[in-house]
Structure 1
C-alpha cells in the first residue's frame, strides 16, 4: 500500500501500553472542572494522539484489539464529558451534595475518575448492563478474589499462547490478506473463524479481568463492581441473544447511547419500531466503525470494509430474525415450537 510506505512499524512498547495509555489520558482529563477548557483540552489531546498514530505507524494484525479499545475510550470520553457532565450524570447524589465530585480535591477527584474508568463495564447505579447481574451478597475476601482472578489471567494467557502457536498459525494462510482467506475452502474458513472467535473471547475476557485486578488491588473499586464482560453461553440460541446477552458487553453502553442520539435526532418516539431498529442498526454501525479504525493500522481496504459490512449484516440478520419471530407468534407459535390452533386459524384451515 502506498500510504504505508512512509510509516514505521509500531514500537513494541507502544503496542503494550496502548490501552493503559488511553485509560490514563481519560482518567487525567476527568480531573479539571467541567467547562469549555476541559472539552478543548481533551479534544486536542485525543486528536493529536490519533493523528500522530495514524500517520506514523503501521502494525501487524495482532494489534487489532488495542485500537478498538482506544477508539472506545475516546468515544466514551466524548459522551461523558462533551455531551454530558460525568460528575453529575455518573454520580449517585446531586451537584449540591458535600461528597459531589464537583467539590473533590485533586487526590480525591483522581481516585473518583480512576474508579469511573477502571469500572469499564459501567456497572453502577444508572449505567449498568442489565443482563449481567451483580453478585449476590458481598465478596468476603478481596485477597481471595484477587488470587482467583490473577490465576485465571495466567491460565488465559497460557491458553492464548498455545492456541496461537499450535492451532491458529497452523491453519491461517501465510499471506495475511482477504483474498488468501477467501481462497480457502468453506470448512477451512469456518474452522479459522471458530479459532479466531475463541481467541477474541480469551483476549477480551482477560483485558477486562486485568483492568479489574488493577482497580481492586489499588482499592479504587470493589470486587462487586467488576463482573465478567461475557454473559452466559446458554443464551446463544438466537443472533440477537448472542450479541445482546452472551458476547462481551464491554462497549454496550456507548453503542446504545449512539443509537439513542440518532433516534432522537430523527424524531423516533420511544416504544416505536422506528426507534427500536434505528438504535439497533446504528449500534452495529458504530461497532463496525470501531472495527474499521483498527484496520487503519493494518492497511487492507477489502479487510477494512469487510469489518464494517459484517457488523451491519448482523443488524440486518437480527431484524429478519425478529420479523420471523413476530410472524410465528401471529400464527400461534410459542417458544418450544408448539402450535396453538386459534379459532381464527381453525376457520382458515377449514
Structure 2
C-alpha cells in the first residue's frame, strides 16, 4: 500500500467511522488533569478512571484514522499512553502531592485550582517527567545553551532525520517483497550471506522506526522552544535517545540507549508488584519481576495499536516484548553466574567484551525483529508511507532512471 493505492486505503477507512478526535483524545486528557488536580477520594478516582479507560478502549476498537499506520501509531502512542497514564496517575500516585518541579519546589497542592489543572496536564504530557523530583532514570544530559543554539542544533538534526527517513523508507517502499511474511523467506538463501542480507532488511526497518520517533520529538521540541508555548525551556528538551555505545546488552539497549518515555510507568508498577508479592528489594528476583512487568506494560501499550487496526490483531505485538524480557533474564542469569565465579569485570566491561556484546545484541535484534515487523506488513501497517512526500522517489530516482536510459 503506497502513495497510489488509494482504493485499498479507502476500503480500509470505510470499515469503521472516523475517530472524533476532540471527544476521545483531547477531552479525556482534560478530564484526567481535572481528576488529578481536584484529588477526590480514592473510590471516586477509581470510578472516574474506569470510565476513562472504557472510553479509551471503546475508541480504539470502534474508530479509525483512515490508514493502518496512523491507526497503529495513534492506538499505541495516544491511547496506549492514555491507558497507562490513567492507571498510574489515579491508582498508584497522587501527582499533585507527590511530584514537584526542582526549580520551583513549592508544593503543587498550594496552587490555585486552574494552576493545578495546568500542572497536571503538563505532567500527563511530560513523559519522562523532566525537571521534576521523579525524573526518569538514564535521561540524556540537558542542553546547555541559548534558545538560538538549541534551535540550530535541532534544525540540523531535523534535516538529517528527514533525509535519512526518506532514503530508508524509499528503499523499503520498493522492496516490500523482502518484508512480507509469505514471500520474504524466498528471497534469502540459507547461507551466511543470506542471513546478513535478511539482517540488513530488518536493520533498515528498525532504523526507520527509530528515525520516525526521533523526528517527531525534534519537531515538538522545536515548536515548544520557538513559540514558548507550554514548556519552552531548552533544558527541558534533552535528546530523546541515549548513547548507542551503551547498547552492548539487551538490558542496556532498552534501559539506556532507547527512549525513557515509559519508564515512569515501569518504575512505579514494578516496585508496586514487588511490594505486593513480598519480594525483597535489591534481589535478583526483584529485578526480574520488574523487568517482566515493564515489558508487559510496553506490550499493553503497543497492543492498543493492534486493537485499533483490527480487533483480530489484538495481542500480536505481545510476543516481541515478552521475548525481549526473556532475553534480559537470560543475560542477567549469565552475568550472575559469572559474578559468582569471579569472572565478571567490575564497572564498564573492556572493549573486547563490549564488542562481543554488540554482536550479541545485533544477533538478538535480527532474530526478534521479525516477531514485530512480520505481522506489521501482514496487517498492512508496514505498507503505508510515513512521509507525505518523498524527494527520493519523486525527483532523484526518476532522474537516475532517465540518466541510465540515455547512457
Which category of TM-score, normalised to the shorter sequence, fits these structures? 0.7 to 0.9
1:291, 1:307 within 8 Å by CA — same for their partners in 2? yes
How large is the RMSD of aligned CA atoms in angstroms? 3.5
Q: 2:168 aligns with which of 159, 163, 170?
A: 163
2:130, 2:136 within 8 Å by CA — same for their partners in 1? yes
Q: 2:250 aligns with which of 239, 243, 250?
A: 239
* Alpha-carbon distance change, 161 to 112 in structure 1, aligned in 2, over 3 angstroms: same
> What runs of 5+ residues in structure 1 fail to find an aligned partner?
339-350
* Alpha-carbon distance change, 134 to 5 in structure 1, aligned in 2, over 3 angstroms: closer
- Give the secondary-structure state (helix, strand or coil) at the position aligned to 1:296: helix
Q: 1:205 aligns with which of 214, 223, 246?
A: 214
1:173, 1:180 within 8 Å by CA — same for their partners in 2? yes
* Alpha-carbon distance change, 172 to 256 in structure 1, aligned in 2, over 3 angstroms: farther
- 2:27 & 2:221 partners in 1: Cα distance? 15
- 1:134 & 1:65 partners in 2: Cα distance? 28
Match of 2:372?
none
* Alpha-carbon distance change, 42 to 285 in structure 1, aligned in 2, over 3 angstroms: closer
State how 1:97-246 maps to structure 2 within 5 Å.
99-105=106-112, 107-135=114-142, 139-164=144-169, 166-173=170-177, 178-181=181-184, 185=188, 186-187=195-196, 189-216=198-225, 217-221=227-231, 222-246=233-257
- 1:304 & 1:98 partners in 2: Cα distance? 43
Q: How much does 1:7 deviate?
A: 6.5
Match of 1:29?
32
- 1:266 & 1:311 partners in 2: Cα distance? 23
* Alpha-carbon distance change, 281 to 195 in structure 1, aligned in 2, over 3 angstroms: same
TM-score (norm 2): 0.68
* Alpha-carbon distance change, 55 to 23 in structure 1, aligned in 2, over 3 angstroms: closer
TM-score (norm 1): 0.77
Q: How much does 1:305 deviate?
A: 4.5
> What runs of 5+ residues in structure 2 fail to find an aligned partner?
1-10, 189-194, 354-407
State how 1:2-81 maps to structure 2 within 5 Å.
8=15, 11=18, 22=25, 25-27=28-30, 29-31=32-34, 32-36=37-41, 40-57=47-64, 59-70=67-78, 71-81=80-90
* Alpha-carbon distance change, 114 to 285 in structure 1, aligned in 2, over 3 angstroms: closer
Q: How much does 1:189 deviate?
A: 4.0
* Alpha-carbon distance change, 271 to 306 in structure 1, aligned in 2, over 3 angstroms: same
Q: How much does 1:242 deviate?
A: 0.7
Number of paired residues? 323
Q: How much does 1:22 deviate?
A: 4.0
- 2:166 & 2:200 partners in 1: Cα distance? 18
1:259, 1:280 within 8 Å by CA — same for their partners in 2? yes
Q: Deviations over 1:72-125 (max 9, x none)?
A: 2331232123322111111259xxx99533343355335423432343222234
- 1:25 & 1:243 partners in 2: Cα distance? 30
- 1:116 & 1:64 partners in 2: Cα distance? 24
2:17, 2:62 within 8 Å by CA — same for their partners in 1? no
1:9, 1:59 within 8 Å by CA — same for their partners in 2? no
In the alignment, is residue 331 of structure 1 matched against residue 335 of structure 2? Answer: no
Q: Deviations over 1:225-258 (max 9, x none)?
A: 2211211010111111111111222212212222
2:33, 2:124 within 8 Å by CA — same for their partners in 1? no
* Alpha-carbon distance change, 304 to 118 in structure 1, aligned in 2, over 3 angstroms: closer
Q: Which has the higher contact order (CA 8 A, sep 6+)?
A: 2
In the alignment, is residue 289 of structure 1 matched against residue 289 of structure 2? Answer: no
